[in-house]
Structure 1
Amino acid sequence: MALKNEYSAKLLVVDDDPDIRHILKEFFQDEGYEVWTAADSLQMRNMLTGNQFDAILLDLTFPGKDDGIDLVREIRNKSNVPILIISGRGDLTNKIVALEVGADDYITKPFDLQEIYSRVRAVLRRTKTAAEESGSHVYRFHNLQLDPDTRTLLKNTEAVPLTTGEFNMLMALVSHSGRVLSRDFLMVETRSRRFEGMDRSIDAQIMRLRRKIENDIHNPQIVKSVHGIGYSLGVPVRKTRKTGE
């Protein structure tokens, strides 16, 4: 990522509504951000070719065959760039599906500009802080190796692609190993907002993470559920210097 701090980020806004594109572009430019906009998937793909963005603000509904969920999948297959959904689809199912396929946050229209600003800053700050705090160490646990500096995960010797949200979730569990982390704690750590009782996004993200790292998702050994509370890391963690340093 090109990010130096959350005030100098390069954003891509993808929405078929020209008024929303204009409002978001003007607002974030006034805050010092570089903002590009796209009205559809074709424009989005053209802008993603040869450009590196620090975050993407993406609508879910487009005219014709384009669907925002499919676009999230497409972006995730190529990049770990943070994706924030801004959508008129406010039902819980759409939120869970969007987070399942790789979105990092979900904001419902009509939106408050200050809320979007706070959410964007939060996801950029988390991405930057994780890299800065890593130093030259890696976390080793079970058959996994997590490198906060490069934001990569190895399972045995194979790379495991993680979304920004999945990486942040795993970092929270690893850096607080030995503790039971509540959903409220994980929501604040990974999205900088409070947990709401009916919000199942943390559970959905944990399930997605388990599919990538557990040998048996029906009997998880790495990310353990603690009934009525939240989750904890079920294996010991070693923090070691990188090989060759």
Structure 2
Amino acid sequence: MIIEDQRDVVEMLRLSWSDSRDRLDCLATAKQASRFIHSNEIAAYDCILIDINLTDGSGLELLREARLRSDVPIIMISGAGDADSRADAISVGADDYVMKPFSVKELRARVHRLCEARLGRGALRQSVSFRIGNVDCDIGRLSMDFAGASQSLTALEGRILRVLYDSAGEDCPKSSIARQALFREHDPRDKTIDVYINRLRGKLLELDAASGDAIKTIRGVGYRLNSVPNNES
């Protein structure tokens, strides 16, 4: 689903999207998009592209609404922005962020990688649970729990935690996190991983102060998750 009010952008996507297996649908207004998000139709789509600056509303608000209802991969599109605007979109729950003008070929590759990850998530969800400090993390349910309190995780947060868990007790380079969780090569100028790590630390801290520093920063490398008990079943 493409939520975009610039007709030329939509036409470019339709003309240049060379994979005939994909169906591209479009909504041109925030009002239409909001109705779509709150309907059962959203479950039929593998990925949603949302323009941040729509004529009649905010793409970020649509992103917030969608994240309350679905874990469908969402890529935000913007004609103007900087590191802060990208961080805002990611903090709300976007899986990716592209700037206009963009390469349709690259965008298509990003969409397919996100969709493939979502399809493969079923097997991941059946088996992976572990503890960070005193906090129980369940990647299947996309939640963290401690003493009766719970914090939900986005799909991308879950993938990042899984990458950190797989190398628990060892340094985990940002390049590995980017490839395995964001499905792209790491760009040192891109602060996506840093934003998400800070969000995860905040959620851990809210649940249990003693567990808030379990994810350590390794300068010049990436991060390290303190050794955790293996509850994987």
Provide TM-score, normalisation by structure 1.
0.82
Give the whole-Å Cα distance in 2 for the aligned partners of 1:174 and 1:237. 10
1:101 paired to 2:92: yes
- Deviation for aligned residue 1:68: 1.6
Aligned partner letter, 1:166:
E
- Partner residue of 2:212 out of 217, 220, 224: 220
Q: How does 1:26-105 map to 2 (within 5 A)?
A: 30-48=19-37, 49-51=39-41, 52=43, 53-64=45-56, 66-105=57-96
Q: Return the offset for 1:137.
A: 4.7
Could you say what secondary structure the match of 2:190 adopts?
Answer: coil
Identity of aligned residues (%): 28
Are 1:99 and 1:204, in contact at CA under 8 Å, matched by a contact in 2?
yes
Q: Distance in 2 between matches of 1:137 and 1:191?
A: 19
Alignment match of 2:10 (pick from 21, 24, 30): 21
Structure 2: gaps (5+ residues): none
In the alignment, which of 163, 175, 178 is matched to residue 166 of structure 2? 175
Gaps of 5+ in 1: 1-11
Determine the C-alpha separation between the residues in 1 that align with 2:119 and 2:202: 26
**How far apart in 1 are the matches of 2:50 and 2:64?**
12
TM normalised by structure 2 equals 0.86
| Residue correspondences, number | 228
Q: RMSD in angstroms over aligned alpha carbons?
A: 2.4
1:202-241 deviation per Cα after TM superposition (whole angstroms, max 9, x unaligned): 1111111222122478983221111222111124131332
- 1:234 equivalent in structure 2: 226
Q: Which amino acid aligns with 2:7?
A: P
Distance in 1 separating the partners of 2:151 and 2:32: 29
Question: Alpha carbons of 1:165 and 1:136: their partners in 2 closer, same or farther (altered >3 Å)?
Answer: closer
